Amino acid sequence: MMMLGWIEVIAGSMYSGKTEELIKRVRRSEFAKMKSQVFKPIIDNRYHQTHVASHDQTLISATPLKSIHEIWDHLSDDTQVVGIDEGQFFTQDLVQVCRDLSARGLRVIVAGLDMDWKGQPFEPIPTLMAIAEDVSKPRAICTVCGQLATYTQKLKGSDSQIEVGSQNNYEARCRQHFSPEILFQNSLDLKLENHDTGL
């Protein structure tokens, strides 16, 4: 009998526990004797090249992919559960790949940012949330006031939408304390401008 597949999405800001939740769900499936595989974008090498790691350093083995389509080259015939971390770093093709995996009867669990540092939808996660059977949106803690946070504040770096970083580059913020700008870079620019003008 064909297994019924489905898609689960764990979405939210940085430091909301998305990866930790992904690891927990995959490990629970392994306790149930289900064959699982975890994949990640190759550009996410912040903590480990061949593991998915939460910010508190909880680890699980993962296969790095340059493209989401490479998943077919690594997928085992007996795999029942597929975990995909940092889904926002893949192209929009992630949506169709997840559809295809679930159509094969696999449980697909994807974790990723639903908004970028400008507070805008971070595709392909929002589209994936729309077609998923289950969506979880854990929240972080605002580094300014301690309230629940759903935004990712960029502290420094380029204005690119995709830029891998951690605590030195990003913070979790609530709506009140979030600003869609690069804080430290703008502060540095202002200091340089004031220095140049003698202010």
Residues recognised as catalytic:
86
Dihedral sign for Cα atoms in the order 29, 31, 36, 37: positive
User: Rounded CA gap, 144 and 158, in Å?
Assistant: 23
User: Rounded CA gap, 139 and 141, in Å?
Assistant: 7
Cβ(86)–Cβ(122) below 8 Å: no
CA distances from 84 to 76, 133, 138 (A): 15, 16, 17
Cβ(127)–Cβ(188) below 8 Å: no
User: Rounded CA gap, 77 and 22, in Å?
Assistant: 22
